[in-house]
Homo-oligomer: A and B are copies of this chain.
Amino acid sequence: MRTPLDPDMFDPVCPSGLSPIRIGDKWAGMIVRCLEHGPRRFSELRVPLRGVTAKALTKSLRTLERDGLVHRASHPGPGRRVEYALTPLGHSLLAPMAAACAWAQEHWEELLDAREASPHG
């Protein structure tokens, strides 16, 4: 079996919503990172993306699929299984995303400080 996704991988210790850098919609960036090391099932993705509704996850995945970043494979039968995986194009997104994540990790404290010092906190 493959390694399960860490349920806390998006625990907002460093709140990623703080970073000005965003990938696609609210969930797209996190989805791509979940798929970094191989395909994942719909229900697997829901674990680390705490609070995502089926509707929102579906919509995000459909957009990623439409743009050729993610591939959807449906294996029918009882106990149906659907797997999502990065395409080569989707995989190529990981490099700029790494740069974005590195920036956020280096600077999110400065961002927080600036916000608190600001009159509009």
A: residues with CB less than 8 A from B are 20-24, 28, 62, 65-69, 89, 92-93, 95-97, 99-100, 102-103, 106-107, 110-111, 113-115, 117-118, 120-121
Contacts and interface: CB of A to CB of B under 8 A. Distances in A.
6 contacts: A66-B120, A67-B115, A68-B110, A68-B113, A69-B114, A92-B107
B24 A96 contact: no
B93 A96 contact: no
B96 A100 contact: yes
A20 to B, nearest CB: 4
Closest 8 CB pairs of A and B: A68-B114, A20-B24, A99-B99, A96-B99, A66-B118, A96-B103, A22-B22, A96-B100
A114 B96 contact: no
A93 B102 CA distance: 11
Given A89-B114, A99-B99, 11 more contacts: A20-B67, A21-B93, A21-B96, A21-B97, A22-B22, A66-B118, A66-B120, A89-B107, A92-B103, A96-B96, A96-B103
